[in-house]
Amino acid sequence: MRKKLLRGEALSAVWHNRRRKIHPPPPASSPVIRVSNHIVQLGRQKEDPKPRQLLSLPPFPGHLLPGRNATSAAYVTAISWLRYYFSDIPPRVIQKHFNEGLVQIECLNNTSGLSGCYEGQAAPMRKIRPNDVMKVGGRVHVPVSIAESTVSKRFDVIPSATLYPNADEIEYLQRLVKYKDSAILVLNKPPKLPVKGTVSIHNSMDALAAASLSYNYNEGPKLVCRLDRESSGLLLMGRTQESISYLQWVFSDTKKTKSLSKDWNDACDATYQRYWALIIGSPKQKEGLICAPLTKIMLNDGKTERVVLAHNSGLEASQEAITEYRVLGPMINGCSWIELRPHTSRKHQLRVHCAEALGTPIVGDYIYGWFVHSRWKQLPRVDYEKTTGEAYKMRRPQGLDVQKGSVLSKVPLLHLHCREMVLPNIAKFMRHSRDDRADPEHDSERDLLRFVAPMPSHMKISWNLMSSYLV
């Protein structure tokens, strides 16, 4: 009897071991049945694509675009408007965004002829085709990826710092020239290059340009409008004394007396500059006009001068300062891209208006945003898309050195860039003032010139990092 029990226990143990090695098939999962629009479908619903971070273009002006011929002003299509605003972006990239249906336009009101638009409600969005004709006030939205660009491996700095420019410096300065005619020179100034030289500064822009950019003229070009040493972008120079007088008239803040001709007066009124900047935080209002006068004060050392907002007390000398601003997109990692259009030309006007009037200093501005930068941290922060509540995440493209002064470096450079400039065609008006007779060859020229400069390397890196996706 005992042997039978032992044999039974052994057989049960063997059978138990066999059962452990044989895994039963998983239970069949019941199919998910979904019903939508009275159609039954099997399987789980696929996740919707994540919304993209959108970039807002300014409202379509509706008149002749600066720098374009009058013959092309009958109507402007959507793709022409995007190519005009992003003239530094390859056309194939813009066409690709249209092909993928990523370009949208706001529906303003019922008068636009679109269904589902109600006055007083948040403007809905609809896709727009490349051949659709733009209407006055139409605001187009595109993903920020449309402005992504490649980043050069080297900094945009002057090769050396000598009193007399050598061959490398002359070649470097000539590469910065974006436009040249008989009256003006337009350059794309790199960051950290001083514009006006002093006794201790030899490689300033005015000294190098006077020695390197004469182009067989008796004298070198002279500066007309200036940029801060840390900022970058379009820099304007006059080649002759006559053209310098014209340009000083154009950029004068005083009321211009009407003279020359109606075309000249209209061209002067259409002159403007647009800057792109990366600010810490985001203004409460997405767009507006800053009317805050500025005054200069002397610090305790008696040598350092600062620009601050004037309090209109009557005890201090102040200058009128007006800046138009527009936020380009949502806040990512605690920072936002903003477009600035100064209506006056004051020293450090944009930096002071951003830091003190808006309370959002520019990244890399250690003079007027020193308090925020003293607590600067490179820790990634998560922000949320307002409409969907989804979280934005900053991406780091592979092979990109984020330490070249970008927003993620320990000591970022100033993120202020003069991107766009529109000014009268000085050479044409100078010829008209000398000779009143009509010249068909010169009359066909444009009254306005428009220039767009790509961002420097550190701002390109920050832009690519801020072109984030929703996770």
Residues tagged active-site: 228
CB atoms within 10 A of CB 77: 15
Q: How far apart are CA 361 and CA 179, in angstroms?
A: 32
Tell how strand 177-180 and strand 222-223 pair up.
unpaired
Asked whether 466 and 394 are in contact (CB, 8 A), the reply is yes
Q: How far apart are CA 399 and CA 438, in angstroms?
A: 57
Q: How far apart are CA 151 and CA 402, in angstroms?
A: 11
Q: How far apart are CA 416 and CA 111, in angstroms?
A: 39
Exposed, middle or buried, 468 (CB in 10 Å: 0-12/13-18/19+)? buried
Three-state SS string over the chain comes to CHHHHHHHHHHHHHHHHHHHHCCCCCCCCCCCEEEECCEEEECCCCCCCCCECEEECCCCCCCCCCCCCHHHCCCCEHHHHHHHHCCCCCHHHHHHHHHCCCCEEECCCHHHCCCCCCCCCCCCEEECCCCCECCCCCCEEEEHHHHCCCCCCCCCCCCCCCCCCCHHHHHHHHHHEEEECCCEEEEEECCCCCCCCCCCCCCCHHHHHHHHCCCCCCCCCEECCCCCCCCEEEEEEECCHHHHHHHHHHCCCCCCCCCCCHHHHHHHHCCEEEEEEEEECCCCCCEEEEECCEEEEECCCCCCEEEEECCCCCCCCCECCEEEEEECCCCECCEEEEEEEECCCCCCHHHHHHHHHCCCCECCCCCCCHHHHHCCCCCCCCEECCCCCCEEECCCCCCCCCCCCCCCCCCCCCCEEEEEEEEECHHHHHHHHHCCCCCHHHHCCCCEEEEECCCCHHHHHHHHHHCCEEC
Q: How far apart are CA 80 and CA 84, in angstroms?
A: 6
